[in-house]
Structure 1
Amino acid sequence: MNIDMDHLRQWIGRAQSESEVLLPTLVRQFNATFDRTSSTAEGDDAPLLIHFCLAQSVAPMSALGRDGHPALGAFLPPVPLPRRMWAGGEFAFHAPIRIGETVTRQSVIRDVQAKQGRSGALCFVTVDHEITSDGRHVLSERQDIVYRDVENAGATAPKRQAPAVRSGEDYRKIVPTPTLLFRYSAMTFNGHRIHYDMPFCVESEGYPGLVVHGPMQATLLCQYAADLRGAEPKSFRFRSVSPIFSTTDFTVNGTPQGDDLSLWTAAEGGPVAMKAVATW
């Protein structure tokens, strides 16, 4: 497929701003979804990566594409490849978000690049987000989005010959039930059908089951890193390697890497799905 990169690169520098008050109700929902406990009192620190659930774009039903995502061409460039997935990202934590404060996300398209993968055309879009909480700079985020053609579906699935990864020095089992995936989609106002519509996943996308969200995996890994070290990291970077589906349980894993912590997710008996490094 020919991609008009000169046209798509006109989106570089495009900006968007969204704001939302972090209410105690959302914190309770977030904690319930991840089976965690924390204070929900106004003025207290919010859980790690709850910003994924805040200040999301709200598109009307008439503006959604076939996959449930908002149609492209407004903020994100109109990449003519139908499959959109998180490729990875990085966070720098400056201060905690506080419950009851207004959280604002300022987003800018940093780059648009085309590449040729082993199975076809790929397009990568890099978005920078700066997050403030009542005007305090709390978080810097780089988001990497990859677009693929339909025939690349098989390339995103774990290869049969890929060896099963060993568990980390520390690990925790996660059961990716449809209820868990639905709750996370609801909290993040994510209409992408691959996370809750099984017929769409199997019949239209060729997947064996529902796809576990990349941001949810990143949240689980970042939470686990903070639990293992007893302190929230200063930075966290991650990269998606292969998807995890609702057809099997998976683990979040951690192993010391010098002063840092190497982390990953993997389906039981499968290869690495997401790699991450947390730094203090």
Structure 2
Amino acid sequence: MAIARAPAAADTHSFIIGRTELRQDLIVRNRATALAAVLGLERIPGDGRALPSGWHWLYFDPLVSPGNVGTHGRLSRGAFLPDVTSSERTCMAGRITYHAPLPFGIQAEKQSTIKSVRPKLSNAEQTVLVTIRHDIQVAGSLYIEEEQDITFRYPVASGLACPSPILAPDGAQWSEEVMLDPASLFHYSELMSEGCRIHQARHRTCDEDYYTALTIDAQLLATLLQGMAERCRPDAHLLKFKYKVIGVLFTSESFHIAAKEGDDATGLDLWAENWSGDLAMRAKARFVF
């Protein structure tokens, strides 16, 4: 595997902190209906008047021409995100607060602000961790606020052992088996526009990272966990959700999403695990009744 040239330690990209981007979108129902079909659902979850939790990721992405798509299938960097060339971009964690459901048929605005940029060097790789704050508003009222941690990773050494997998928690009170094939990921990729181009991702995961199958997108996995959270608490409003990527899931085998009671009645602990019981994502949900 070719090793990308990592930037000098002094190149912190700190000058982009505070950079903002503003996007607008019409929250149309047909995009949500399409996602429901991709996930094998008969209809959009909920009362049908507003987006389910996590489905706001369907919107506000730009339509990208082929000339503006980077080597890893995402929008070329530099205009908003740092211009960290020859690196792999991964959504590693996020924290979301849902102040109100986002209704269908309204014009919404998303303002994104780069909150921090933190370079980190280990024996295996060099990374740049970028935290972005997103505020989604309608007519000046805040509906969703979100922080997203994105990692730009450079491999700087080869032949090192992969980290040992972490076992998923015990004691699941709810559990569902999920199987996503490459076709499902393709359609999800198209719905997400710039979010993850499946044709580019196949080259990266199978050729560059030596995986034997396509990997499941982190935001898709977080969407599934939020759906489970709302099914576990059908009479409550999901107020806060936070997630963190721990491992990798593949399209070559089914996996499980699971949940159990949290520290109190308002919380749930959730996770995704592979068939062997290795943890891929952990999450926490908090509700108001």
More helix by share: 1
Per-residue deviation, 1:118 = 4.4
Q: Which residue of 103, 128, 132 corresponds with 1:127?
A: 132
Structure 1 residue 188 and structure 2 residue 177: aligned?
Answer: no
Pick which of 188-197 and 24-33 moved more.
188-197
Shift of 1:196: 6.7
Select 1:250's aligned residue among 246, 255, 261: 255
Among 102, 105, 108, the alignment partner of 2:107 is 102
Q: 1:170 to 1:196 in 2, by over 3 A?
A: farther
Question: Could you tell me how far apart the structure 1 residues matched to 2:243 and 2:160 are?
Answer: 20
Indicate yes or no: 2:198 matched with 1:176.
no
User: After the TM superposition, which parts of structure 1 deviate over 4 Å for at least 4 consecutive aligned residues?
Assistant: 4-7, 39-42, 151-158, 161-167, 193-197
Which residue of the other structure, out of 249, 268, 279, is the alignment partner of 1:272?
A: 279
- Structure 1 portions without partners, runs of 5+: none
**TM-score under structure 1 normalisation?**
0.89
TM-score, normalised to structure 2's length? 0.87
Q: Name the aligned partner's letter for residue 86 of structure 1.
A: C
Compute the displacement of 1:173 (Å): 0.7
- Indicate the SS of the match to 1:52: helix
1:223 to 224, 227, 234: 227
Note the residue ranges of structure 2 that are not aligned, 5 or more in a row.
1-5
Q: Tell whether the 8 Å contact from 2:61 to 2:195 is kept in structure 1 after alignment.
A: no
Question: How many Å separate the matches in 2 of 1:120 and 1:238?
Answer: 23
Deviates most, 92-101 or 71-80 = 71-80
**How much has 1:85 moved relative to structure 2?**
0.3
Tell me how far 1:154 sits from its aligned partner. 8.5
How many residue pairs get aligned? The number is 278
CA contact (8 A) 1:14 1:109 kept: yes
* Offset, 1:204: 2.6
Please give the root-mean-square deviation of Cα atoms over the aligned residues, in Å. 2.6
C-alpha deviation, 1:41, in angstroms:
9.6
Kindly provide the CA deviation profile for residues 196-217 of structure 1, in whole angstroms up to 9, marking residues without a partner as x: 7534421233222111111111
CA distance change for structure 1 residues 193 and 98 in 2, over 3 Å: closer, same or farther? closer
Distance 2:35 2:187 in 1: 9
Q: CA separation in 2, counterparts of 1:153 and 1:129?
A: 36
TM alignment of 1:1-280, pairs within 5 A: 1-3=6-8, 5-6=10-11, 8-36=13-41, 37-38=43-44, 44-80=49-85, 82-150=87-155, 159=164, 162-163=166-167, 166=170, 168-190=172-194, 192-193=196-197, 197-230=201-234, 231-259=236-264, 260-280=267-287
| CA–CA separation in structure 1 for the residues paired with 2:134 and 2:84 | 20
Q: Residues 5 and 173 of structure 1: is their aligned pair in 2 closer, same or farther, counting only changes over 3 Å?
A: farther
